[in-house]
């Protein structure tokens, strides 16, 4: 029952903490005239990061129709072989610097495109050796360009990028260069009204490194981080109007910060969690072994202490992997490295001290009756029987009086009217009602202590039930150096 309650509590906690990661709005609730810009970084390294990323544009509604009409008015008929009145592939990208997509690439490469604590070096269509219509859909397959506002426009690009080994302090999370490149100055004026559209920017950041983000200044967007021992995954999104530029959301980034480093924090969490989960168990074991074996079942755990330590370990793990899980309270609610350092160390110390103090207190209150060790009586060995030798060399044993013969305990059947109230003794078959008088052999058979002193050995396995002193001197075999005959003599002779 206790385990199921803890499991239900853990599931409820995870469901509550997962609320910030559930999208609160669907595409059906978005404005119809939208410009959606998506970027991502995929970088790897130690101090300097290398890799690349993707840039995706998606225009819906009037924004898509206005861009198509602007491209047609600007590039229609510029190159021979094209169809007048519609957009051809050559009008989109005649060369890396000609056509609408070619001008877009050139604008992005010539403009300073340092964004999200990184930089870009070159842009190209995602499928460089395929027709441009694959990476720029919504242009060549539309005939009624003058009136069509429902066919979306999608542009897919790839770029090479990296990150230097210098820190980025308070950098802007949203770069306006992507909007300027989409509606670059080569387009025929009069077709684009940037203030008529709603903009949405989304960025996903994958960095396998020792770098870390911290010190957020989020005012209108949302920022989430998943911290792992290999690096960090960051997600930033914001919806805004053109008159809301520039976006003031900022953050800081360092290639290596000992306090914020995800690898260092992982080792810290692992160490402190190990201490918190093992110290109560270790202190309980010390307390339990303070009892004699027959009373150890009375050494009960302090349940709330063990449950609280495991719940705190779970919280620390959640704090490490999801430092922005309380962003629904405030977008700047971030559990940074300093917070985790303080909470982890304090919790490890508190639970260790609590376990030590509480179990030492319980050990001091163990009843003295439980600590009293029963006295083991050793049965005296019988006197050796005198042996006399006959003239013929035959040993004759002299019988002793009956009073000197060792006692024999006859087994008596238990009375039929007697109702046993405990396990039976394997010598007298009577019930063992007083557990202080209980003696248990290694094989599991039970005896009264008085019966064990008489029987001396277990009736089942033959092991000694009491301490038995060897009878007589210890003998050893010695070979006569003259005749070679073996003789038995006392060991000390």
Domain boundaries, the chain: 30-257, 264-371, 419-468
* Fold of the domain built from segment(s) 419-468: Herpes Virus-1 (3.30.40)
Helices (H), 365-404: 368-371
What separation in angstroms does the CA of 366 have from each of 195, 214, 293, 354? 79, 52, 13, 19
User: What sign does the CA torsion over 165, 170, 173, 177 have?
Assistant: negative
pLDDT of residue 18: 52
What does DSSP say about strands 49-60 and 153-163: parallel, antiparallel, or unpaired?
Answer: antiparallel
Which residues have a Cβ under 8 Å from the Cβ of 163 and sit 6 or more positions away?
41, 43, 45, 48, 49, 117, 118, 119, 207, 211, 255
pLDDT of residue 450: 82
User: Which among 479, 464, 424, 468 is positioned nearest to 447, based on CA atoms?
Assistant: 424
Phi, psi angles (nearest 5°) of residue 71? -65, -40
Residue pointed to by tokens 């078959």 = 429
pLDDT of residue 133: 84
pLDDT of residue 229: 95
User: Taking a C-beta distance cutoff of 8 angstroms, is the pair 51, 161 a contact?
Assistant: yes
Flag whether the pTM goes above 0.75: no
Radius of gyration from C-alpha coordinates of the chain: 43
pLDDT of residue 373: 58
Which residues have a Cβ under 8 Å from the Cβ of 129 and sit 6 or more positions away?
none
Cα separation, 251 vs 246, in Å, equals 15
User: What sign does the CA torsion over 125, 131, 137, 139 have?
Assistant: positive
- Residue 50 gets the label, from left (phi > 0), alpha (psi -120 to 50) or beta, of beta
What does DSSP say about strands 34-45 and 198-208: parallel, antiparallel, or unpaired?
Answer: parallel
pLDDT of residue 30: 62
pLDDT in tens, the chain (493 residues): 455 555 555 665 555 555 444 444 444 456 688 999 999 999 999 888 999 999 999 999 999 999 999 999 888 876 645 566 788 888 888 777 788 999 999 999 887 678 899 989 889 998 877 888 889 999 988 888 888 899 999 999 999 998 888 888 888 898 899 999 999 888 888 889 999 999 999 999 999 999 999 999 999 999 999 999 999 999 999 999 988 888 899 999 999 999 999 999 999 999 999 999 999 999 999 998 888 888 888 889 999 999 999 999 999 999 999 999 998 888 888 999 999 999 999 999 999 999 999 999 998 888 876 666 555 555 566 666 555 444 444 454 445 555 555 555 455 554 444 455 678 888 888 888 776 667 778 788 888 888 888 888 888 887 877 655 555 566 677 777 777 777 767 665 5
- Each as own residue / partner, the long-range contacts of residues 396-404 (CB below 8 Å, 24 or more positions apart, any chain) are none
């Amino acid at each position: 029952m206790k385990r199921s309650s803890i499991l239900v509590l853990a599931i409820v906690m995870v469901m509550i903490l997962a609320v910030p990661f559930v999208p609160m709005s669907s595409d059906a609730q978005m404005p119809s005239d939208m410009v959606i810009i998506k970027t991502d970084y995929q970088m790897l390294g130690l101090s300097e990061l290398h890799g690349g990323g993707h840039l995706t544009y998606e225009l819906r509604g009037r924004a898509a129709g206005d861009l198509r009409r602007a491209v047609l008015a600007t590039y229609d008929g510029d190159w021979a072989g094209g169809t007048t009145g519609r957009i051809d592939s050559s009008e989109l990208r005649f060369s890396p610097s000609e056509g609408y997509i070619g001008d877009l690439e050139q604008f992005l490469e010539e403009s300073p495109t340092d964004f999200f604590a990184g930089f870009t070096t070159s842009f190209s269509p995602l499928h460089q050796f395929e027709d441009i219509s694959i990476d720029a859909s919504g242009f060549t397959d539309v005939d009624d360009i003058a009136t069509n506002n429902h066919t979306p426009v999608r542009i897919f690009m790839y770029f090479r990028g990296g990150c230097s080994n210098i820190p980025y302090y308070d950098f802007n999370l949203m770069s306006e260069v992507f909007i300027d490149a989409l509606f670059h100055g080569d387009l025929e004026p009069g077709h684009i009204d940037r203030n008529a559209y709603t903009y949405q920017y989304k960025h996903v950041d994958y960095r396998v490194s020792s770098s870390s983000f911290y010190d957020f200044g989020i005012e209108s967007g949302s920022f989430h981080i998943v911290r792992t021992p290999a690096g960090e995954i960051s997600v930033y999104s914001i919806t805004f109007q053109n008159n809301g530029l520039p976006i003031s959301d900022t953050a800081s980034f360092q290639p290596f910060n000992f306090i914020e480093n995800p690898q260092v924090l992982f080792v810290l969490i692992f160490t402190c969690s190990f201490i918190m989960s093992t110290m109560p168990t270790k202190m309980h074991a010390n307390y339990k072994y303070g009892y004699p074996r027959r009373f150890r079942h009375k050494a009960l755990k302090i349940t709330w202490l063990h449950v609280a330590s495991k719940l705190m370990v779970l919280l620390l793990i959640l704090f490490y992997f999801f430092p922005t899980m309380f962003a629904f309270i405030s977008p700047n609610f971030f559990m940074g490295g300093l917070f985790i350092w303080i909470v982890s160390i304090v919790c490890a110390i508190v639970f260790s001290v609590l376990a030590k103090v509480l179990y030492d207190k319980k050990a001091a209150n163990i009843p003295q009756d439980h600590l009293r060790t029963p006295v083991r009586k050793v049965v005296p060995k019988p006197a050796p029987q005198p042996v006399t030798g006959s003239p013929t060399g035959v040993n004759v044993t002299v019988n002793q009086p009956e009073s000197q013969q060792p006692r024999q305990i006859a087994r008596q059947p238990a009375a039929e009217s007697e109702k046993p109230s405990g396990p039976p003794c394997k010598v007298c078959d009577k019930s063992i009602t007083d557990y202080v008088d209980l003696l248990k052999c290694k094989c599991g058979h039970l005896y009264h202590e008085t019966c064990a002193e008489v029987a001396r050995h277990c009736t089942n396995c033959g092991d000694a039930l009491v301490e038995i002193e060897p009878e007589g001197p210890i003998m050893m075999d010695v070979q006569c150096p003259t005749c070679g005959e073996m003789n038995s003599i006392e060991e000390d002779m």
